[in-house]
A and B are shown apart, each in its own frame.
Chain A
Amino acid sequence: GAGVSQSPRYKVAKRGQDVALRCDPISGHVSLFWYQQALGQGPEFLTYFQNEAQLDKSGLPSDRFFAERPEGSVSTLKIQRTQQEDSAVYLCASTWGGDYGYTFGSGTRLTVV
């Protein structure tokens, strides 16, 4: 595709509900990154894939957060038993792997009520 596509754009979840956020990277991009951006803050790293391999998940805030990229293209970030502190914009970025120029999607704004 022409850009990184994320869905849904907005998600409202009741506390305790599970959510799944989807990222479609640019076709052919090897590396995929998830970031969390709280209101008024910079993006914070969550996890990183190279093809289907999750190389770094050190930024995932708790074991309620889980990410996968089973076929090396589309990725899903899952949050179980959502809490209010999970409210943020979740950004996905991709790069073909040989350069450092990340292309970001527009994000999914998650609000936990």
Chain B
Amino acid sequence: QQQVKQSPQSLIVQKGGISIINCAYENTAFDYFPWYQQFPGKGPALLIAIRPDVSEKKEGRFTISFNKSAKQFSLHIMDSQPGDSATYFCAALQAGTALIFGKGTTLSVSS
């Protein structure tokens, strides 16, 4: 059973557009929801994270929106740039356990 479901699998966005990636979870004990960015040949790098007591967090062009009642959270990348082309993973964690990742979204930003 997949604990964190991510969509879409791939995404193509024009330069300057908004990229939106969605994730859903089932386990209400999760208390930390990060997004990771991964470039080919590199490990995932933490991009931004949110706790369930907050509905939105913004860092630069990246925003997480969190809907606790729907058990969903999403990543918005504003003014998408070619350098944002990478694979993005949502994840979730329950205290005392390890991060569980979604299957990933490959983002391509066309110039």
- What residues of chain B lie closer than 8 Å to A44, measured between beta carbons? 101
Asked if A100 and B103 make an inter-chain contact with CB atoms under 8 angstroms apart, the answer reads no
Partner of B43, one of A41, A45, A48, A106: A106
User: Within the assembled complex, what's the spacing in Å between the Cα atoms of A105 and B97?
Assistant: 20
Number of interface residues of B (CB under 8 A): 21
Interface size class of A (residues with CB under 8 A): 20 to 34
User: Closest residue of chain B to A9, judged by CB?
Assistant: B41
Asked if A42 and B89 make an inter-chain contact with CB atoms under 8 angstroms apart, the answer reads yes
Query: Which residues of A pack against B, CB within 8 Å?
Result: 4, 33, 35, 40-45, 48, 56, 59, 91, 93, 100-107
Q: List 17 A-B contacts (CB under 8 A).
A: A4-B43, A42-B101, A42-B103, A42-B104, A43-B89, A43-B101, A45-B99, A56-B98, A100-B32, A100-B34, A100-B49, A100-B93, A101-B49, A102-B99, A104-B45, A105-B43, A107-B42
